[in-house]
Structure 1
Amino acid sequence: MSVELHAVDTGGEGTPLVVVHGLMGSADNWRSHVKQWHRKRRVVAVDLRNHGRSPHAPGMRYADMAGDLLACLDRLGIERCHLLGHSMGGKVAMTLARQASQRIASLIVADIAAIRYGHGHDAIFAALHHVASHAPSNRREVDALLAEHVEDKGTRLFLATNLERRDDGRMGWRLGLEHIEAGYEAIRDLPDGEGAYAGPSLILRGGRSTYVTDEMLPGLRELLPRAELVTLDAGHWLHAESPTEFQAAVNDFITAVEG
């Protein structure tokens, strides 16, 4: 059964750009980009299940999340869209492009490959549980607790975007952490679906990221045979680290697709 996703919809004319965040992310992380893209088109940024303001539900298979996204497009009356997915959201996007290619005008995959990744979030899960068990009262306390497991300040700031203040005044996570952790093996896995997406596609990767190495490109090109490749001087969060270059690459690609 699909989950009714929360979506930020700017409204507007033309073929919409639909944006899908990565693991532990949300539509909120894309606010500045959505504002820029809205100057030219309708933009929809979604919260995947167990993220942001969307409902919590078991199951993190890519087929399930792509089904949620397709139901969201139907609800918003979007027959065809440009689809952009970052990290885990890129695998959701690739899955939907395989399952419903007629709905996808073009596909943009940001810093994720079509492979099964190793365990890379054990410290983050430990940090999130550590914060939850202490029920801190402010963000300074949250950061101190996160720092016991996560050294990188940027990662801690990113995780803190998932905080909410509870009715008792304490800080907690709006993530469906139990379902995400239970579904982590599915999150690590390949995109679901069969065959290739034959439409126009763009692979955007960070030159300082290890998520899309040269060795991973042949597998991506099997799934996306028409893919263009753009490498930015950035790490995994390339849209946050090189926002101007990221905007330009997306805009140039969509402009070329639309002729």
Structure 2
Amino acid sequence: MQLNVIERLSAQPAGHPPVVFLHGLFGRARNMGFLQRQVAHTHRTLALDLRNHGDSPHGPMDYPAMVEDVVETLRAHDALPAILVGHSMGGKLAMIMALQHPELVSGLLVGDMAPARTGFGQAKLAEAMLHIHFPDHLDRQGADQLLAKEIPNRSVRDLMLQNVRLGTEPGWQIGLRDITNSMPNIENWPYVPEGYVYDGPTLFLRGEHSPYIAKDHEPVMRRLFPRYTLETIPDAGHWLHADNPKLFSEKMLDFINSI
């Protein structure tokens, strides 16, 4: 499946691999716009809408299928090998791609996600969203009020509002049924055959107040990604690139420019 792409700096500078941004669950390519603009000063950049998100096609989800989506899309754009920057679900996807296709990945930056089943998924939220009844017409203010009944958290609701189709035929723009049915796959860490290793440069960035990367994840991180570095973004939770964008951006740029 070919995915929708937002590309910046289409002329690729010599010696610099393209940088590819992979968003998290319920996100979309344009969520990564601030980071993409920072990198586009020096590198060709591509931000992808993953399947069932943004303007990409819909279908059942698991990480091997999503990896093939990304590989097919980047090959079509002549953008391989690439540096992958992934957050949350996008970080897990980036890790699996690096393990399955190490020759296609020049570097790996993972935002607040471990190579493990973490148990902090959004299955209840997805199920609640399925049961929201949309009226015949909806504007943004009405959509905000409608979602507030099921999603009281302001920041989460803002994320979900971008997935609502407004106007005379309102509804979910995303493939919400496919996402909900696939939630066990999304929350899981797929089986990695013995011997699969990505030995390229790898940076894990975790939020100071996030539980997603714990001490007991580090042995498997070391086994799968032997050249990894783990750094903490202070004053940040799981959405670390939104909570502390300046420091996240600085660490991201230092990592990318070192490759």
Q: TM-score of the superposition, structure 1-length normalised? A: 0.91
SS in 2 for 1:118: coil
Gaps of 5+ in 1: none
Name whichever of 215-224 and 82-91 sits farther off.
Answer: 215-224
The runs of 5 or more residues in structure 2 that have no matched partner are none
Report what 1:7 is aligned to.
5
Residue in 2 that maps onto 1:91: 92
2:137–2:166 contact (8 Å) kept in structure 1: no
Question: Contact 2:127–2:180 (CA<8 Å) still a contact in 1?
Answer: no
Distance 1:8 1:23 in 2: 18
Task: Quote the offset at 1:120 in angstroms.
Answer: 3.2
- The C-alpha deviation readout for 1:91-113, integer Å capped at 9, x for no partner, is 11111111110111101111111
- Aligned to 2:132, the other structure's residue is in SS state helix
Structure 2 residue aligned with 1:121: 122
Deviation at 1:192, TM superposition (A): 5.3
CA deviation vs aligned residue, 1:92-148 (integer Å, no higher than 9, x gap):
111111111011110111111111133632442244224344466122222222222
**Could you tell me which residue of structure 2 aligns to residue 217 of structure 1?**
218
Contact 1:63–1:192 (Cα < 8 Å) also in 2:
no
Amino acid paired to 2:26: M
SS in 2 for 1:131: coil
What do the CA deviations read for 1:166-195 (whole angstroms, capped 9, x no partner)? 5xx243221100111111111011145432
- Decide whether the 8 Å contact of 2:204 with 2:228 is kept in 1: yes
Instruction: Tell me: CA distance 1:159–1:45, structure 2 relative to 1, closer, same or farther (3 Å).
Output: same
Query: What is the aligned residue count?
Result: 252
Deviates more, 1:214-223 or 1:41-50: 214-223
Find the aligned partners of 2:46 and 2:133 in 1 and give their Cα distance: 31
Partner of 2:174: 175
Q: After superposition, what is the alpha-carbon deviation per residue over 1:232-254, rounded to whole angstroms, capped at 9, x for unaligned?
A: 02111111111111110111112
1:49 is aligned to 2:51: yes
Kept after mapping to 2: 8 A contact 1:86/1:111 = yes
Q: Given residue 248 of structure 1, which amino acid in structure 2 is its aligned partner?
A: E
Kept in 1: contact 2:82–2:104 (CA 8 A): yes
Which residue matches 1:190?
189
Contact 2:18–2:80 (8 Å) recurs in 1 = no
Identity percentage of aligned residues: 36
CA 1:91/1:132 → structure 2, altered by over 3 Å: closer, same or farther? farther
State the secondary structure of the residue aligned to 2:258: helix
After TM superposition, give the deviation of residue 153 of structure 1 in Å: 0.7
